[in-house]
Amino acid sequence: MSDAPSAAAAGTFDLDGETTVNRLGFGAMRLCGEGVVGAPDDEENAREVARAAVDHGVDFLDTADSYGPGTSERLLREAGVVDDAVVATKAGLLRDADGDWLPHGDPDYVRNQLLASRDRLGVDTIDLYQFHRPDPETPFADSVAAFAQLRDEGHVRHVGLSNVTVEQLDEAREQVPVATVQNRYNVADREDEAVLRACEDAGIGFVPWFPLAAGDLGAAGGALDDVAEAHDATRQQVALAWLLDYSDVTLPIPGTSSVDHLRENVAAAELSLTDAEVARLAAAGE
């Protein structure tokens, strides 16, 4: 792996077949304070991490109105990276003082949060607007209809979903083209395998959140260590490389608050696993 790794080595994916991004992105949740509430202790460091991501070829940045709330979006704008990348944000979760994540998919709230997100990001149109989580108190179709309307009105280029089932994905696609699905997934957590396969069949980007499981990669750990040793890499780099190699539609978004850790993550784009290694890791994580 090179001294100046680039996310471009991961290859590209076309959102809705028209907006091209490098497949290894950056998740901006960790730019916030403890518990993803409020500002970090060192805001300039957070901005520097965002700038370093773009400097290393990352052109797909994932955030949400609930990160902070609002902090992550603001820091991306202040870092000066919004115009250099496709920025994906989300609406559909409220926060409280305890740091809880509370589903809120009311259409009026979604439309209100679009205005807030546009202001914090400093944009007229949001590149990719994602429904963060279905709300049991709001019909799923009503929430999706709000996102579809925002797209029709030109406020949003692409619409994405998060934390959905195959059935919900199919239901949403009856109302609006779905560019991405963002569900929890990593080499040791394959519960949403069926959703990934549905995205493959439809040419939809699959954004695996929690791609490194905060370092706890469970039963796959032994296989990860063996493959990492063979490539002179870390187990986290192998876990990211596996996501990229396992499916052509995956768009991993590892997050960090460290520039050094960011560079390590980006270097995973240059790691090429053999078919046998990909299969071994897949089996270990099942």
Tens of pLDDT along the chain (286 residues) come to 667 899 999 999 999 999 999 999 999 999 999 999 999 999 999 999 999 999 999 999 999 999 999 999 999 999 999 999 999 999 999 999 889 999 999 999 999 999 999 999 999 999 999 999 999 999 999 999 999 999 999 999 999 999 999 999 999 999 999 999 999 999 999 999 999 999 999 999 999 999 998 778 887 889 999 999 999 999 999 999 999 999 999 999 999 999 999 999 999 999 999 999 999 999 998 8
Q: List, for residues 69-118, the tens digit of each pLDDT value.
A: 999 999 999 999 999 999 999 999 999 988 999 999 999 999 999 999 99
Of 67, 129, 185, 246, which residue is the catalytic one? 67
| CATH number for the domain harbouring residue 154 | 3.20.20.100
Which amino acid is residue 115, in one-letter code? Answer: L
The pLDDT score that the predictor gives to residue 2 is 67
Rg value, the chain, Cα? 18
Domain that holds residue 213: 7-285
The pLDDT score that the predictor gives to residue 285 is 85
Residue 222 lies in a domain: yes
The pLDDT score that the predictor gives to residue 1 is 65
Which amino acid is residue 107, in one-letter code? Answer: P
Residue 1 lies in a domain: no
Q: How many domains does the chain have?
A: 1
Catalytic (active site) residue 129: no
For residue 124, the number of C-alpha atoms closer than 13 Å in the C-beta half-sphere is: 2
**For residues 24 and 13, what is the distance between their CA atoms, to the nearest angstrom?**
10
Residue 36 lies in a domain: yes
For helices 221-231 and 275-285, angle between their N-to-C axes, nearest 10 degrees: 160
The pLDDT score that the predictor gives to residue 169 is 98
The pLDDT score that the predictor gives to residue 191 is 95
**For residues 270 and 247, what is the distance between their CA atoms, to the nearest angstrom?**
16
Residue 2 lies in a domain: no
Judge whether 204 and 249 are in contact, CB under 8 Å.
yes
89 sits in which H/E element: strand 86-91
Residue 137 lies in a domain: yes
Residue 199 lies in a domain: yes
